[in-house]
Structure 1
Amino acid sequence: MRAERCAATPDLFAAAADAQDTVPLEPGAVVLPGLALPQAEQLLHDVAGVLAQAPLRHLVTPGGYTMSVAMSNCGPLGWTSDITGYRYTATDPLSGRPWPALPAAMATLARQAAARAGFDGFTPDACLINQYSAGARLSLHQDRDEHDLRQPIVSVSLGLPAVFLWGGARRSAPVRRIPLSHGDVVVWGGPARLHYHGVLALKGGCHPLTGEHRINLTFRCAS
Protein backbone atom coordinates (compact mmCIF):
# COMPACT_ATOMS: atom_id res chain seq x y z
CA MET A 1 0.00 0.00 0.00
CA ARG A 2 1.29 3.46 -0.77
CA ALA A 3 2.19 5.88 2.00
CA GLU A 4 -0.21 8.77 2.43
CA ARG A 5 0.50 12.31 3.52
CA CYS A 6 -1.57 13.15 6.53
CA ALA A 7 -1.51 14.64 9.98
CA ALA A 8 -0.59 11.39 11.68
CA THR A 9 -2.72 10.35 14.62
CA PRO A 10 -0.67 10.08 17.83
CA ASP A 11 -0.33 6.46 18.86
CA LEU A 12 -1.44 6.62 22.46
CA PHE A 13 -0.38 3.02 23.06
CA ALA A 14 3.14 3.12 21.62
CA ALA A 15 4.90 3.75 24.93
CA ALA A 16 3.16 0.82 26.57
CA ALA A 17 3.88 -1.43 23.61
CA ASP A 18 7.59 -0.62 23.68
CA ALA A 19 7.85 -1.48 27.37
CA GLN A 20 7.67 -5.28 27.03
CA ASP A 21 8.78 -7.94 24.59
CA THR A 22 5.87 -10.27 25.31
CA VAL A 23 2.58 -9.56 27.04
CA PRO A 24 0.84 -12.76 28.19
CA LEU A 25 -2.96 -12.69 28.12
CA GLU A 26 -3.42 -16.18 29.54
CA PRO A 27 -2.09 -19.68 28.80
CA GLY A 28 -1.93 -20.05 25.03
CA ALA A 29 -2.42 -16.34 24.22
CA VAL A 30 0.14 -13.53 24.01
CA VAL A 31 0.65 -10.08 22.55
CA LEU A 32 4.00 -9.49 20.82
CA PRO A 33 4.32 -5.69 20.74
CA GLY A 34 6.00 -4.27 17.67
CA LEU A 35 7.08 -7.63 16.27
CA ALA A 36 5.97 -6.71 12.74
CA LEU A 37 7.51 -3.22 12.70
CA PRO A 38 10.71 -4.16 10.81
CA GLN A 39 8.63 -5.74 8.01
CA ALA A 40 5.70 -3.31 8.05
CA GLU A 41 6.40 -1.52 4.78
CA GLN A 42 7.11 -4.79 2.96
CA LEU A 43 3.94 -6.31 4.38
CA LEU A 44 1.85 -3.38 3.18
CA HIS A 45 3.50 -3.54 -0.24
CA ASP A 46 2.57 -7.21 -0.43
CA VAL A 47 -0.98 -6.47 0.72
CA ALA A 48 -1.36 -3.96 -2.10
CA GLY A 49 -0.26 -6.61 -4.59
CA VAL A 50 -2.81 -9.08 -3.25
CA LEU A 51 -5.62 -6.53 -3.35
CA ALA A 52 -4.83 -5.66 -6.96
CA GLN A 53 -5.77 -9.27 -7.77
CA ALA A 54 -8.52 -9.86 -5.19
CA PRO A 55 -10.10 -6.50 -4.25
CA LEU A 56 -11.56 -5.77 -0.85
CA ARG A 57 -15.25 -6.46 -0.41
CA HIS A 58 -17.86 -6.27 2.36
CA LEU A 59 -19.15 -9.77 3.04
CA VAL A 60 -22.66 -10.65 4.13
CA THR A 61 -23.19 -12.94 7.13
CA PRO A 62 -25.67 -15.86 7.10
CA GLY A 63 -28.01 -13.62 9.08
CA GLY A 64 -28.00 -11.01 6.29
CA TYR A 65 -25.74 -8.50 8.06
CA THR A 66 -23.20 -6.66 5.88
CA MET A 67 -19.86 -6.58 7.67
CA SER A 68 -18.41 -3.12 8.30
CA VAL A 69 -14.88 -4.45 7.78
CA ALA A 70 -13.74 -4.82 4.15
CA MET A 71 -12.03 -8.13 3.47
CA SER A 72 -9.94 -10.17 1.06
CA ASN A 73 -7.66 -13.22 1.26
CA CYS A 74 -4.42 -14.74 0.08
CA GLY A 75 -2.99 -18.23 0.30
CA PRO A 76 -4.30 -21.61 -0.88
CA LEU A 77 -7.57 -21.01 0.98
CA GLY A 78 -9.65 -17.93 1.68
CA TRP A 79 -12.40 -17.35 4.23
CA THR A 80 -15.69 -16.08 2.88
CA SER A 81 -19.30 -15.63 3.95
CA ASP A 82 -22.74 -15.15 2.44
CA ILE A 83 -26.31 -15.98 3.35
CA THR A 84 -25.54 -19.71 2.90
CA GLY A 85 -22.87 -19.74 5.61
CA TYR A 86 -19.21 -19.32 6.53
CA ARG A 87 -16.57 -21.39 4.71
CA TYR A 88 -13.12 -21.58 3.19
CA THR A 89 -12.75 -21.75 -0.59
CA ALA A 90 -9.81 -22.31 -2.94
CA THR A 91 -11.12 -19.68 -5.36
CA ASP A 92 -12.28 -16.09 -5.04
CA PRO A 93 -16.08 -16.06 -5.43
CA LEU A 94 -15.87 -12.68 -7.21
CA SER A 95 -13.47 -13.76 -9.94
CA GLY A 96 -13.59 -17.54 -9.92
CA ARG A 97 -9.78 -17.56 -9.86
CA PRO A 98 -7.54 -18.99 -7.14
CA TRP A 99 -6.78 -16.60 -4.31
CA PRO A 100 -3.45 -14.78 -4.70
CA ALA A 101 -0.42 -16.63 -3.35
CA LEU A 102 0.64 -15.95 0.23
CA PRO A 103 3.67 -13.60 0.00
CA ALA A 104 6.87 -14.96 1.53
CA ALA A 105 7.35 -12.08 4.00
CA MET A 106 3.86 -12.58 5.38
CA ALA A 107 4.29 -16.34 5.79
CA THR A 108 7.67 -15.89 7.47
CA LEU A 109 6.31 -13.39 9.99
CA ALA A 110 3.39 -15.68 10.82
CA ARG A 111 5.74 -18.61 11.50
CA GLN A 112 8.08 -16.46 13.61
CA ALA A 113 5.23 -15.04 15.68
CA ALA A 114 3.72 -18.48 16.30
CA ALA A 115 7.11 -19.85 17.37
CA ARG A 116 7.63 -16.91 19.75
CA ALA A 117 4.29 -17.81 21.33
CA GLY A 118 5.26 -21.46 21.73
CA PHE A 119 3.64 -22.91 18.60
CA ASP A 120 6.48 -24.31 16.51
CA GLY A 121 5.82 -25.65 13.03
CA PHE A 122 2.91 -23.35 12.20
CA THR A 123 2.40 -23.20 8.42
CA PRO A 124 -0.57 -21.01 7.50
CA ASP A 125 -2.58 -21.80 4.39
CA ALA A 126 -4.95 -18.84 4.70
CA CYS A 127 -4.46 -15.16 5.42
CA LEU A 128 -7.47 -12.90 5.85
CA ILE A 129 -6.81 -9.26 5.00
CA ASN A 130 -9.19 -6.94 6.85
CA GLN A 131 -9.36 -3.19 6.27
CA TYR A 132 -10.97 -1.11 9.01
CA SER A 133 -12.19 2.44 8.37
CA ALA A 134 -13.54 4.77 11.06
CA GLY A 135 -16.47 3.10 12.80
CA ALA A 136 -15.72 -0.42 11.49
CA ARG A 137 -15.82 -3.09 14.17
CA LEU A 138 -15.77 -6.82 14.66
CA SER A 139 -18.22 -8.29 17.15
CA LEU A 140 -17.24 -11.04 19.57
CA HIS A 141 -16.84 -14.36 17.79
CA GLN A 142 -14.85 -17.60 17.76
CA ASP A 143 -12.59 -18.76 14.92
CA ARG A 144 -13.91 -22.28 14.52
CA ASP A 145 -14.23 -22.88 10.77
CA GLU A 146 -10.73 -24.37 10.58
CA HIS A 147 -10.19 -28.12 10.29
CA ASP A 148 -7.33 -28.43 12.80
CA LEU A 149 -8.06 -26.45 15.95
CA ARG A 150 -4.70 -27.47 17.39
CA GLN A 151 -3.12 -24.79 15.17
CA PRO A 152 -2.96 -21.21 16.51
CA ILE A 153 -4.26 -17.95 15.10
CA VAL A 154 -1.74 -15.19 14.32
CA SER A 155 -3.13 -11.65 14.01
CA VAL A 156 -1.01 -8.69 12.82
CA SER A 157 -2.04 -5.04 13.27
CA LEU A 158 -0.85 -2.37 10.82
CA GLY A 159 -1.79 1.30 10.61
CA LEU A 160 -4.20 3.01 12.97
CA PRO A 161 -4.35 1.78 16.58
CA ALA A 162 -7.28 -0.34 17.66
CA VAL A 163 -8.73 -1.92 20.77
CA PHE A 164 -8.79 -5.72 20.66
CA LEU A 165 -11.51 -7.43 22.68
CA TRP A 166 -10.37 -10.60 24.42
CA GLY A 167 -13.02 -12.76 26.03
CA GLY A 168 -13.27 -16.32 27.26
CA ALA A 169 -14.47 -19.72 26.17
CA ARG A 170 -18.08 -18.55 26.53
CA ARG A 171 -19.61 -15.44 25.01
CA SER A 172 -20.79 -14.38 28.46
CA ALA A 173 -17.26 -14.38 29.93
CA PRO A 174 -15.70 -11.04 30.98
CA VAL A 175 -14.03 -9.17 28.13
CA ARG A 176 -10.66 -7.42 28.36
CA ARG A 177 -9.77 -4.42 26.20
CA ILE A 178 -6.28 -4.76 24.74
CA PRO A 179 -4.81 -1.70 22.96
CA LEU A 180 -2.95 -2.60 19.78
CA SER A 181 -0.49 -0.39 17.91
CA HIS A 182 1.03 -0.48 14.45
CA GLY A 183 3.22 -3.59 14.25
CA ASP A 184 1.72 -5.47 17.20
CA VAL A 185 0.97 -9.18 16.83
CA VAL A 186 -1.46 -11.31 18.83
CA VAL A 187 -1.18 -15.10 18.89
CA TRP A 188 -3.64 -17.49 20.51
CA GLY A 189 -3.97 -21.25 20.49
CA GLY A 190 -3.94 -24.27 22.76
CA PRO A 191 -6.36 -23.76 25.67
CA ALA A 192 -7.21 -20.27 24.36
CA ARG A 193 -7.81 -21.32 20.75
CA LEU A 194 -11.62 -20.98 20.86
CA HIS A 195 -11.82 -17.90 23.04
CA TYR A 196 -14.16 -15.16 21.90
CA HIS A 197 -12.53 -12.03 20.52
CA GLY A 198 -13.36 -8.93 18.50
CA VAL A 199 -12.40 -5.32 17.79
CA LEU A 200 -14.02 -2.13 19.07
CA ALA A 201 -15.23 0.41 16.51
CA LEU A 202 -12.15 2.04 14.99
CA LYS A 203 -11.58 5.66 15.88
CA GLY A 204 -10.92 8.09 13.03
CA GLY A 205 -7.37 9.17 12.35
CA CYS A 206 -4.57 9.02 9.82
CA HIS A 207 -1.47 6.87 9.69
CA PRO A 208 1.45 7.75 7.38
CA LEU A 209 1.52 4.24 5.87
CA THR A 210 -2.16 3.29 5.75
CA GLY A 211 -3.97 6.63 5.72
CA GLU A 212 -7.37 6.51 7.39
CA HIS A 213 -7.32 2.74 7.83
CA ARG A 214 -6.18 -0.12 9.98
CA ILE A 215 -5.03 -3.27 8.19
CA ASN A 216 -5.26 -6.58 10.00
CA LEU A 217 -3.66 -9.78 8.73
CA THR A 218 -5.04 -12.95 10.28
CA PHE A 219 -3.12 -16.15 9.55
CA ARG A 220 -4.75 -19.54 9.97
CA CYS A 221 -4.18 -23.18 9.16
CA ALA A 222 -7.59 -23.91 7.66
CA SER A 223 -7.14 -27.31 6.05
Structure 2
Amino acid sequence: MQVLPKGARHIPGYLDRAAQEALVEDIRAVVQAAPLYVPTMPGTGKEMSVRMTNCGSLGWVTDRERGYRYQPTHPGTGLPWPPIPEALLKIWREVSDYPHPPEACLVNFYTEAAKMGLHQDRDEAALDAPVVSVSLGDSCLFRVGETSRSGPTVSIRLDSGDVVILGGEGRLCFHGVDRIYPATSTLLKNGGRINLTLRRVTKPSPPRHIR
Protein backbone atom coordinates (compact mmCIF):
# COMPACT_ATOMS: atom_id res chain seq x y z
CA MET A 1 0.00 0.00 0.00
CA GLN A 2 1.35 3.41 -1.00
CA VAL A 3 1.92 5.89 1.82
CA LEU A 4 0.96 9.41 0.77
CA PRO A 5 2.83 12.51 2.00
CA LYS A 6 1.57 14.09 5.22
CA GLY A 7 -1.51 16.17 4.58
CA ALA A 8 -2.48 14.26 1.43
CA ARG A 9 -5.59 12.07 1.72
CA HIS A 10 -7.21 9.72 -0.77
CA ILE A 11 -10.81 8.63 -0.20
CA PRO A 12 -11.64 5.88 -2.72
CA GLY A 13 -15.25 5.56 -3.87
CA TYR A 14 -16.48 8.61 -1.97
CA LEU A 15 -19.30 9.11 -4.51
CA ASP A 16 -21.50 6.22 -5.56
CA ARG A 17 -22.63 5.81 -9.16
CA ALA A 18 -25.87 7.75 -8.71
CA ALA A 19 -24.04 10.69 -7.13
CA GLN A 20 -21.48 10.64 -9.93
CA GLU A 21 -24.19 10.70 -12.59
CA ALA A 22 -25.95 13.60 -10.88
CA LEU A 23 -22.68 15.52 -10.64
CA VAL A 24 -21.96 14.98 -14.33
CA GLU A 25 -25.32 16.61 -15.11
CA ASP A 26 -24.37 19.54 -12.88
CA ILE A 27 -21.07 19.91 -14.74
CA ARG A 28 -22.81 19.75 -18.12
CA ALA A 29 -24.84 22.78 -17.03
CA VAL A 30 -21.64 24.55 -15.95
CA VAL A 31 -20.00 23.86 -19.32
CA GLN A 32 -23.07 25.08 -21.16
CA ALA A 33 -22.81 28.42 -19.34
CA ALA A 34 -18.98 28.57 -19.38
CA PRO A 35 -17.63 26.57 -22.35
CA LEU A 36 -14.47 24.50 -22.13
CA TYR A 37 -11.42 26.20 -23.60
CA VAL A 38 -7.72 25.36 -24.05
CA PRO A 39 -5.47 27.23 -21.58
CA THR A 40 -1.97 28.29 -22.63
CA MET A 41 1.29 28.49 -20.71
CA PRO A 42 2.70 31.85 -19.59
CA GLY A 43 5.44 33.23 -21.80
CA THR A 44 5.54 30.41 -24.35
CA GLY A 45 1.87 30.29 -25.24
CA LYS A 46 2.10 26.49 -25.43
CA GLU A 47 -1.32 24.88 -25.24
CA MET A 48 -2.03 22.58 -22.29
CA SER A 49 -3.33 19.09 -23.07
CA VAL A 50 -6.46 19.53 -20.96
CA ARG A 51 -9.50 21.62 -21.74
CA MET A 52 -10.88 23.54 -18.82
CA THR A 53 -13.46 25.90 -17.39
CA ASN A 54 -14.49 27.05 -13.91
CA CYS A 55 -17.42 27.69 -11.65
CA GLY A 56 -17.61 29.86 -8.56
CA SER A 57 -17.04 33.55 -7.87
CA LEU A 58 -13.47 33.22 -9.15
CA GLY A 59 -11.90 31.04 -11.83
CA TRP A 60 -8.28 30.03 -12.40
CA VAL A 61 -6.99 30.93 -15.85
CA THR A 62 -3.66 31.12 -17.65
CA ASP A 63 -2.51 32.61 -20.91
CA ARG A 64 0.66 33.70 -22.66
CA GLU A 65 0.35 37.38 -21.86
CA ARG A 66 -0.77 37.52 -18.22
CA GLY A 67 0.11 34.10 -16.81
CA TYR A 68 -1.52 32.26 -13.93
CA ARG A 69 -4.25 34.12 -12.09
CA TYR A 70 -7.80 34.12 -10.78
CA GLN A 71 -10.50 36.30 -12.32
CA PRO A 72 -14.28 36.59 -11.99
CA THR A 73 -15.08 36.14 -15.70
CA HIS A 74 -14.63 33.55 -18.46
CA PRO A 75 -11.74 34.57 -20.76
CA GLY A 76 -13.72 33.71 -23.88
CA THR A 77 -17.23 34.94 -23.15
CA GLY A 78 -16.40 37.69 -20.66
CA LEU A 79 -19.33 36.51 -18.52
CA PRO A 80 -19.19 35.67 -14.81
CA TRP A 81 -18.54 32.03 -13.97
CA PRO A 82 -21.62 30.00 -13.03
CA PRO A 83 -22.03 29.12 -9.34
CA ILE A 84 -20.48 26.03 -7.81
CA PRO A 85 -23.09 23.22 -7.72
CA GLU A 86 -24.50 22.41 -4.28
CA ALA A 87 -23.29 18.79 -4.55
CA LEU A 88 -19.68 20.04 -4.67
CA LEU A 89 -20.20 22.48 -1.81
CA LYS A 90 -21.54 19.54 0.22
CA ILE A 91 -18.39 17.51 -0.48
CA TRP A 92 -16.27 20.48 0.62
CA ARG A 93 -18.20 20.79 3.87
CA GLU A 94 -17.82 17.07 4.56
CA VAL A 95 -14.11 16.61 3.84
CA SER A 96 -12.29 19.96 3.94
CA ASP A 97 -12.30 20.60 7.70
CA TYR A 98 -12.32 24.30 6.78
CA PRO A 99 -14.96 26.76 8.01
CA HIS A 100 -15.29 28.89 4.88
CA PRO A 101 -16.68 27.92 1.46
CA PRO A 102 -14.59 27.45 -1.69
CA GLU A 103 -14.53 30.30 -4.18
CA ALA A 104 -13.32 28.44 -7.26
CA CYS A 105 -13.87 25.05 -8.83
CA LEU A 106 -11.62 24.18 -11.75
CA VAL A 107 -13.16 21.80 -14.27
CA ASN A 108 -10.43 19.96 -16.19
CA PHE A 109 -11.36 17.55 -18.99
CA TYR A 110 -8.76 14.93 -19.91
CA THR A 111 -8.87 12.94 -23.13
CA GLU A 112 -6.98 9.65 -23.14
CA ALA A 113 -3.86 11.48 -24.38
CA ALA A 114 -3.94 14.31 -21.82
CA LYS A 115 -1.73 14.62 -18.76
CA MET A 116 -0.72 17.23 -16.21
CA GLY A 117 2.90 17.81 -15.21
CA LEU A 118 4.03 18.06 -11.60
CA HIS A 119 2.99 21.41 -10.15
CA GLN A 120 1.99 23.18 -6.95
CA ASP A 121 -1.33 24.96 -6.38
CA ARG A 122 0.08 28.19 -4.97
CA ASP A 123 -1.80 31.02 -6.69
CA GLU A 124 -4.16 31.35 -3.73
CA ALA A 125 -3.83 33.68 -0.74
CA ALA A 126 -5.70 31.25 1.55
CA LEU A 127 -3.05 28.54 1.81
CA ASP A 128 -4.53 27.43 5.13
CA ALA A 129 -7.47 26.01 3.16
CA PRO A 130 -7.07 22.60 1.52
CA VAL A 131 -7.50 21.74 -2.14
CA VAL A 132 -10.25 19.16 -2.66
CA SER A 133 -10.48 17.29 -5.97
CA VAL A 134 -13.10 14.90 -7.30
CA SER A 135 -12.50 12.37 -10.11
CA LEU A 136 -15.21 11.45 -12.62
CA GLY A 137 -14.95 9.10 -15.59
CA ASP A 138 -11.87 7.19 -16.71
CA SER A 139 -9.22 6.31 -14.14
CA CYS A 140 -5.85 8.05 -14.03
CA LEU A 141 -2.38 7.60 -12.57
CA PHE A 142 -1.98 10.40 -10.05
CA ARG A 143 1.46 11.30 -8.75
CA VAL A 144 2.09 13.29 -5.59
CA GLY A 145 5.36 14.31 -3.99
CA GLU A 146 6.71 16.65 -1.38
CA THR A 147 6.94 20.44 -1.27
CA SER A 148 10.12 20.48 -3.35
CA ARG A 149 10.07 19.46 -6.99
CA SER A 150 13.08 17.19 -6.50
CA GLY A 151 11.51 15.24 -3.61
CA PRO A 152 10.36 11.63 -3.92
CA THR A 153 6.90 10.93 -5.33
CA VAL A 154 4.32 8.17 -5.02
CA SER A 155 1.74 7.18 -7.63
CA ILE A 156 -1.80 5.98 -7.02
CA ARG A 157 -4.68 5.13 -9.30
CA LEU A 158 -7.70 7.40 -9.02
CA ASP A 159 -11.04 5.96 -10.09
CA SER A 160 -14.37 7.62 -10.79
CA GLY A 161 -15.91 8.84 -7.54
CA ASP A 162 -12.61 9.15 -5.68
CA VAL A 163 -11.75 12.29 -3.69
CA VAL A 164 -8.27 13.63 -2.91
CA ILE A 165 -7.51 16.31 -0.33
CA LEU A 166 -4.23 18.23 -0.11
CA GLY A 167 -4.17 20.20 3.12
CA GLY A 168 -2.01 21.13 6.09
CA GLU A 169 1.57 19.99 5.51
CA GLY A 170 0.50 18.62 2.13
CA ARG A 171 -1.15 21.80 0.83
CA LEU A 172 1.83 22.68 -1.37
CA CYS A 173 2.80 19.16 -2.40
CA PHE A 174 3.82 18.81 -6.02
CA HIS A 175 1.31 16.66 -7.90
CA GLY A 176 0.26 15.74 -11.41
CA VAL A 177 -1.46 13.24 -13.69
CA ASP A 178 0.88 10.95 -15.60
CA ARG A 179 -1.66 9.12 -17.71
CA ILE A 180 -5.31 8.34 -18.32
CA TYR A 181 -6.52 4.73 -18.49
CA PRO A 182 -8.97 4.72 -21.45
CA ALA A 183 -12.30 2.87 -21.29
CA THR A 184 -12.07 2.22 -17.54
CA SER A 185 -15.42 3.90 -16.83
CA THR A 186 -18.80 4.09 -18.51
CA LEU A 187 -19.79 7.29 -16.72
CA LEU A 188 -19.00 9.64 -19.61
CA LYS A 189 -20.64 8.62 -22.87
CA ASN A 190 -17.61 9.45 -25.01
CA GLY A 191 -14.97 8.53 -22.44
CA GLY A 192 -12.36 10.76 -20.85
CA ARG A 193 -11.89 12.05 -17.33
CA ILE A 194 -13.24 15.10 -15.52
CA ASN A 195 -11.34 16.44 -12.53
CA LEU A 196 -13.07 18.97 -10.29
CA THR A 197 -10.79 20.96 -8.01
CA LEU A 198 -12.28 23.06 -5.23
CA ARG A 199 -10.18 25.91 -3.82
CA ARG A 200 -10.49 28.81 -1.44
CA VAL A 201 -8.67 31.75 -3.05
CA THR A 202 -8.89 34.78 -0.74
CA LYS A 203 -8.29 34.94 2.98
CA PRO A 204 -11.60 35.24 4.85
CA SER A 205 -12.23 38.58 6.52
CA PRO A 206 -11.78 38.52 10.31
CA PRO A 207 -15.04 38.62 12.27
CA ARG A 208 -16.26 42.07 13.22
CA HIS A 209 -16.63 42.68 16.94
CA ILE A 210 -19.84 44.36 17.99
CA ARG A 211 -19.31 46.88 20.78
TM-score between the two structures when normalised by the length of structure 2: 0.89
Which aligned segments of 4 or more residues in structure 1 are displaced greater than 3 angstroms? Answer: none
Match of 2:107 among 129, 149, 158: 129
Aligned-pair CA distance for 1:204:
2.5
Conserved 8 A contact 1:122-1:152: no
> What is the rounded CA distance, in whole Å, between the counterparts of 2:110 and 2:6 in structure 1?
29
Structure 2 unmatched ranges of 5 or more: 203-211
Deviations 1:78-111 (A, max 9, x none): 0000012100000111111100111111111122
1:67 equivalent to 2:48? Answer yes
After superposition, the C-alpha distances for 1:124-155 in whole angstroms (9 at most, x for unaligned) are: 11000011001100000000001110000001
Q: Is the 1:206–1:213 contact (alpha carbons within 8 Å) kept by the matching residues of 2?
A: no
RMSD: 1.6
State the alpha-carbon separation in 2 of the partners of residues 102 and 120 from structure 1.
17
Partner of 2:196: 217
2:180 counterpart of 1:199: no
Report deviation, 1:196: 0.3
1:160 aligned residue: 138
Alignment counterpart, residue 170 of structure 1, candidates 148, 159, 171? 148
| TM-score (norm: length of structure 1) | 0.85
Aligned to 1:5: none
Identity, in percent, stands at 43
Query: Contact (CA 8 Å) 1:113, 1:185: kept in 2 or not?
Result: no
Match of residue 209 from structure 2: none
Query: Which amino acid in the other structure matches residue 85 of structure 2?
Result: P
In 1, are the aligned partners of 2:139 and 2:185 still within 8 Å (CA)? no
How many aligned positions are there? Answer: 198
Q: CA deviation at 1:122?
A: 4.5
Paired position in structure 2 for 1:120: 98
What residue identity is the alignment partner of 2:174? Y
